[in-house]
Amino acid sequence: MSDIKITIIDREGEAHVVDAPTDMNMNLMEVVRSHELAPEGTIGICGGMAMCASCQCYVLSHHHLLSEKSFEEEDMLDQAFYVEDNSRLGCQIFMTKELEGLAVKLAPEST
Amino acid sequence: MIKTDIIIIGAGPTGLFAVFEAGLLKLKCHLIDALPQPGGQCSEIYPKKPIYDIPGFPEVLAGDLVKNLMEQIKPFDPGFTLGERAETLEKLNDGSFIVTTSRGTKHHAPIVVIAGGLGSFEPRKPPIPVIGEYEDKGVEYIIRDPEVYRDKRVVIAGGGDSALDWSIFLADVASEVSLVHRRKDFRGALDSVEKVEELSKIGKINLITEAEVVDLKGEGNLDSVVIRHKGQASDEEVKVTDHFIPLFGLSPKLGPIGDWGLEIEKNAIKVDNTYDYQTNIPGVYAIGDVNTYPGKLKLILCGFHEAAIMCQSAYQRIFPDKKYVMKYTTVSGVDGFDGSRKEAKREVVKSIN
């Protein structure tokens, strides 16, 4: 079991420091869901295939340690709303030891 | 009026497999789906993605799974109302139901099964606060009749295939077509991107990139849109137009089902999982991703299981005095409504015995 601590600011602006396992191939969207930091049905709608942007988040730290955006992620962010320069899809950020201390903010839910 | 034994709302994998399970019990099904083709998310969102957890299929493309399910239920000859959203549910005095769609098609049955997955797919609306005020007053999310735009000024927003294709099509219909896109790159088919560039060069399409529509103006009807260029917050352009068509794909919503008096929990329909996946309205069931109960797993295979259980209960509800004994298809075979019959070869049955 090797967990890291990350900070997730929910859509109400509340910051949560949560444990995220690094040995389960878990992504950030799944961490948000497992800690119930967004209502069911509002995040990870496509299940993590970079096909819905419901897990869009703003990366507030560790930018340089994140993997490059894939073509699919770029595509999806291209169609999403409230996109900023630091926008990423949570489902494409996988938990690794290097991300200890990562801070992100969930983007607003789009209708 | 379409009459059947079971109305299934949602033609995704769970809804399709419910047709098979109902068919084994000699119950006819009719499916309603807001999408124009069966398959739900598997067809609409990820037809080319492999699925690895369907029993017996080490790997199957979502689109192929749907194709196989359609083949499997063919003998049970289900009816389809596609491209129409289930809008209202009416309970009659005899306990049966009428489900009416967005286009007014009426369906009558003693049983209604909601297999709506994440809900019906609806256009994604850009976050412009006043957009609702202009819907059908100059703002449309779907182009139903291109002739509406003849000799009109049109602003299309989006960067995918729909935005590109409609810009190309309307370039010959509308008096002016502007395509607004957040980036310089477009994610549509290369042919379409090149065609848009070509039409832009000859002035048939006004290409506005690295920009977004952020506001709408007009007294009653839309008369202009406000476009903000990237990195230039103060540099807003007001563009006079008759129509604004945002084309940003589809997003699933529970939709009108949410107003049917069903018990809803976390955007899903609460069911009695200890028994048969029936909702709080007797005769209305919910199976697959659309339902919730303690221990719920949103997996296609769980939807299949729920479909089988639900059909047994539906049968007892329709025929309270009949006793049905569950049979294995290996033994009983499959009798289609079209007269077809599938069964194991006699010698195989004998050798098993």
Cβ atoms < 10 Å from Cβ of B231: 8
Q: How far is B53 from chain A (nearest CA, A)?
A: 14
Task: Note whether residue A111 is domain-resident.
Answer: no
Contact (Cβ atoms closer than 8 angstroms) between residue A51 and residue B45: yes
Q: Collect all residues from A whose CB is shorter than 8 A from any CB in B.
A: 39-42, 45-46, 49, 51-52, 75, 78-79, 81-83, 108, 110-111
CA atoms within 13 A on the CB side of B34: 24
Residue B165 is assigned to a ligand binding site: no
pLDDT at A111: 62
Q: Write the CB contacts of B5 (distance below 8 Å, at least 6 apart in sequence).
A: B22, B27, B28, B29, B109, B110, B111, B314, B318
3-class secondary structure, B353: coil
Residue B14 is assigned to a ligand binding site: yes
CATH of the domain at A10: 3.10.20.30
- Residue-wise pLDDT for B89-105, tens only, equals 999 999 999 999 999 99
Whether the per-residue pLDDT at B254 is higher than 90: the answer is no
pLDDT at B168: 96
Q: Identify from A11, A45, A69 which residue to disrupt to test chain B contact, counting B C-beta atoms within 10 A and taking the largest count.
A: A45
Domain residue extents for chain B: 2-121+251-342, 125-248
pLDDT greater at residue B232 or residue B211? B211
pLDDT greater at residue A86 or residue B332? A86
- Residue-wise pLDDT for A39-86, tens only, equals 877 888 888 888 889 999 999 998 888 989 998 898 888 888 998 989
> Residue A39: its chain B contacts at CB < 8 A?
266-267
> Residue B160: its chain A contacts at CB < 8 A?
78-79
Question: Does the distance separating the beta carbons of B248 and A79 come in below 8 Å?
Answer: yes
Assigned token pair, B290: 């659309």
Question: Does the distance separating the beta carbons of A51 and B46 come in below 8 Å?
Answer: yes
Contact (Cβ atoms closer than 8 angstroms) between residue B40 and residue B11: yes
Kindly report the backbone phi and psi dihedral angles of residue B266, in degrees, each rounded to the nearest multiple of 5, phi listed first.
Answer: 50, 50
Range of the domain at A60: 3-106
> Residue B45: its chain A contacts at CB < 8 A?
46, 49, 51-52
> Residue B184: its chain A contacts at CB < 8 A?
none
What does pLDDT average to over chain B? 92
Percentage of chain B lying above the pLDDT 70 cut:
97
Residue B88 is assigned to a ligand binding site: no
In angstroms and rounded to an integer, the radius of gyration of the C-alpha atoms of chain B is 24
Q: Pick A82's closest partner by Cβ from B127, B248, B249.
A: B127
Of B173, B165, B171, which Cα lies nearest the Cα of B190?
B165
Contact (Cβ atoms closer than 8 angstroms) between residue B32 and residue B99: yes
- Residue-wise pLDDT for B177-226, tens only, equals 999 998 888 877 889 999 999 999 999 999 999 999 999 999 999 999 99
Whether the per-residue pLDDT at B134 is higher than 80: the answer is yes
pLDDT greater at residue B273 or residue B179? B179
Residues forming a β-bridge with B320: none
Contact (Cβ atoms closer than 8 angstroms) between residue B304 and residue B275: no
Residue B289 is assigned to a ligand binding site: yes
> Residue A52: its chain B contacts at CB < 8 A?
45, 251
Question: Which range, of B62-66, B158-162, B256-260, B312-316, averages the lowest pLDDT?
Answer: B158-162
pLDDT band at A35 (very low <50, low <70, confident <90, very high): very high
Q: How far is B218 from chain A (nearest CA, A)?
A: 23
* Orientation angle between helical segments B13-24 and B62-73, nearest 10 degrees: 20
Of B230, B124, B138, B229, which Cα lies nearest the Cα of A81?
B124
Contact (Cβ atoms closer than 8 angstroms) between residue B266 and residue B274: no
3-class secondary structure, B6: strand
In terms of phi and psi (left: phi > 0; alpha: psi -120 to 50; beta: otherwise), the region of B329 is alpha
User: Would you mind telling me the total number of residues written for chain B in this entry?
Assistant: 353
Interface A:B, Cβ pairs < 8 A: 53
Assigned token pair, B128: 């412009």
3-class secondary structure, B139: strand
Whether the per-residue pLDDT at B245 is higher than 90: the answer is yes
Number of folded domains in chain A?
Answer: 1
Look at the domain B125-248 and name its fold: FAD/NAD(P)-binding domain (3.50.50)
Question: Does the distance separating the beta carbons of B49 and A49 come in below 8 Å?
Answer: yes
Contact (Cβ atoms closer than 8 angstroms) between residue A87 and residue A80: yes
pLDDT band at B160 (very low <50, low <70, confident <90, very high): confident
Q: Search chain B and give the residue with CA nearest A76.
A: B187
As its CATH architecture, domain B2-121+251-342 has: 3-Layer(bba) Sandwich (3.50)
pLDDT band at B11 (very low <50, low <70, confident <90, very high): very high
